[in-house]
A and B are shown apart, each in its own frame.
Chain A
């Protein structure tokens, strides 16, 4: 054992900086979060043990139900639209002569270069009432102005526009990489059979691309469940007041941070985080299992 350690210590030495940071700022906070979730704590005074009280408070809060209702609506719309748009972009580029393809690929990717919070801030001023470009154009052509950012009927769609605008180019790149891996011989065979472009896409590209589509959908799904920055900016939220008009853009992460920093209920905020983690891990493991089946 002694000799072993002597021979191997250099390996552990090189690993120490990474794992020190990893344990202190990732593993420990998770455990600390679970611990805190059983206490009533304002962050200043001595924490008081309350058992499962925080969990029942969070689960029964009206805002929690609203946040989960909103997130379900959001995820179910934004993920499929995002995937369809990214797929169309990938197909458009794939069918182009190489030179043009590279140009369009860069242009379509451009929005993905912009940070999410920034995209929200740019779109906010395009969609704004009175001064926003869309509404200015609407009134120029005699249409009624639309309150994209304050009317609960439209707010979710404004967020989806921002989300799809930013993430489509990014998913497109992954899909193009997947399409490039499809053997050319499959397409040649289809051509011999007289298939047109559309039939090629349906019969070859999509079935061959399923692992890639599954991967991008999974990631889109998991990150959509944690949506925060874009709705936060679009609604001009603060810790004291967030979620926009009638809480139409209230989402779990937002609600969790509000509980912590707005009302200084860190125990409840921690419990909120634990619940959300379980929800996300639940979906991750389902997707993991499906993925295993697909690969078989």
Chain B
């Protein structure tokens, strides 16, 4: 074997060892979470570590416990309403705006678009306090779904992404529809929306994951337990005064991870395309 070949083989070996090393780091914590959940009840895995899930019934009992004894079921319901309504309403608003910015010229267009894009450079977390004061004092929406959902609807990233897409729809198509007597709104509804199916779906997944993963705003606006989201419950489980066992926290973690994991499993390409496209974590 020549020196060159040897060098190449060593390089390849190093490459695969490194690849597997990172694979373990990426996947193991998730695997460990599942492992802790599906282990016999009452015996913490930490005292008797096993590297594979060992008790299906133990896992089911733990999940049942957090769902029915610890208010997780209600949190699941709140989180799904929060994420679902945000996806639907946000896409309605942003696609309507993107339709105008992408296909038409009208006075003030450039100004309005720049005005919206200004939000991209404004750090969002920073306006949390005044947003809370606005939503509670002016609207009285503390501990309501309205307070949870409505403030997050004007999604500038969504607007930007959909406009990029809608811009590419051939103008001839729009003109032809207009000649056929289609109204301004029906062009949006019957032509532009169906043509942007893919982009809208990518955005929907992005918004769903982002909303499901939101902790800060739910924590601020929902202060009563019957309005806790999944994220807020897990935050609460991790506080020192709740005395929840590591098994229960892991069961909660596991159940909270399931929706985004399922979305990823089925729509992997959309999820990654969304990231590559907007460059922003969902």
Name A's B-contacting residues (CB within 8 A): 4, 8, 10-12, 14-15, 17-19, 21-22, 24-26, 28-30, 32-33, 36, 43, 88-89, 92, 95-96, 104-119, 121-126, 128, 130-133, 136-137, 140, 165, 167, 169-170, 173-174, 176-177, 197, 215-216, 219, 222-223, 225-226, 228-229, 232-233, 236-238, 253, 256-257, 260-261, 266, 269-270, 272-274, 276-277, 280-281, 284
A96 touches B220 (CB 8 A): no
Decide yes or no: A4 and B107 within 8 Å by CB, A116-B213, A177-B276 being known contacts: yes
Closest CB of chain B to A121's CB: distance in Å? 5
Bound-complex Cα distance A122 to B33 (A): 7
Residues of chain A with a CB closer than 8 A to B215's CB: 115-117, 229, 232-233
Bound-complex Cα distance A123 to B255 (A): 16
Residues of chain B with a CB closer than 8 A to A108's CB: 22-23, 26
Closest CB of chain A to B227's CB: distance in Å? 16
Closest CB of chain A to B31's CB: distance in Å? 10
Residues of chain A with a CB closer than 8 A to B271's CB: 109, 113
Q: Choose from B125, B134, B154, B281 the contact partner of A170 (Cβ within 8 Å).
A: B281
A8 touches B272 (CB 8 A): no
Bound-complex Cα distance A18 to B89 (A): 10
A115 touches B154 (CB 8 A): no
A21 touches B150 (CB 8 A): yes
B29 at the interface (CB under 8 A from A): yes
B2 at the interface (CB under 8 A from A): no
B87 at the interface (CB under 8 A from A): no
Chain B interface residue bracket vs A: 35 or more
Q: Choose from B46, B96, B159 the contact partner of A136 (Cβ within 8 Å).
A: B46
A33 touches B127 (CB 8 A): yes
The number of A-B residue pairs with CB atoms under 8 Å apart is 259
A-B contact pairs, 9 of them (CB 8 A): A14-B96, A14-B100, A111-B30, A125-B250, A173-B272, A238-B239, A273-B130, A277-B127, A281-B123
Bound-complex Cα distance A228 to B46 (A): 28
Q: Choose from A92, A118, A128, A257 the contact partner of B128 (Cβ within 8 Å).
A: A257
B275 at the interface (CB under 8 A from A): yes
Interface residue SS majority, chain B: helix
Residues of chain B with a CB closer than 8 A to A19's CB: 97, 112, 116, 154
Bound-complex Cα distance A126 to B253 (A): 12
Q: Scan B83-113; emit 1 where CB is below 8 A from any A CB, else 0.
A: 0000000001110110110001011010010
Binds A, one of B68-76, B167-175, B196-204, B260-268: B260-268
Decide yes or no: A109 and B209 within 8 Å by CB, A22-B116, A118-B256, A276-B126 being known contacts: no
Closest CB of chain B to A256's CB: distance in Å? 7
Additional pairs, 11, CB under 8 Å, beyond known A115-B209, A126-B32: A14-B185, A18-B97, A26-B127, A29-B130, A36-B130, A110-B26, A115-B256, A119-B29, A131-B46, A177-B276, A219-B280
Bound-complex Cα distance A219 to B215 (A): 20
B5 at the interface (CB under 8 A from A): no
Closest CB of chain B to A37's CB: distance in Å? 9
Query: Please, which residue of chain B has its CB at the minimum distance from the CB of A25?
Result: B151
A15 touches B249 (CB 8 A): no
Decide yes or no: A121 and B260 within 8 Å by CB, A25-B131, A29-B130, A33-B127 being known contacts: no
Residues of chain B with a CB closer than 8 A to A121's CB: 234, 237-238, 249, 252-253
Q: Choose from A17, A225, A257 the contact partner of B96 (Cβ within 8 Å).
A: A17
Decide yes or no: A126 and B29 within 8 Å by CB, A10-B184, A28-B134 being known contacts: yes
Query: Please, which residue of chain B has its CB at the minimum distance from the CB of A226?
Result: B125
B143 at the interface (CB under 8 A from A): no
Residues of chain B with a CB closer than 8 A to A29's CB: 127, 130-131, 133-134
B134 touches A32 (CB 8 A): yes
B112 touches A15 (CB 8 A): yes
Decide yes or no: A130 and B97 within 8 Å by CB, A28-B134, A118-B257, A236-B240 being known contacts: no
7 pairs of A and B residues whose beta carbons are closest in the complex: A115-B213, A33-B130, A21-B154, A22-B154, A18-B97, A29-B130, A131-B46
Closest CB of chain A to B5's CB: distance in Å? 13
Decide yes or no: A18 and B94 within 8 Å by CB, A229-B215, A270-B129, A270-B130 being known contacts: yes
B276 touches A173 (CB 8 A): yes
Q: Choose from A12, A14, A32 the contact partner of B99 (Cβ within 8 Å).
A: A14
Closest CB of chain B to A155's CB: distance in Å? 15
Closest CB of chain B to A188's CB: distance in Å? 18
B36 at the interface (CB under 8 A from A): yes
Residues of chain B with a CB closer than 8 A to A10's CB: 184-185
Closest CB of chain A to B30's CB: distance in Å? 6
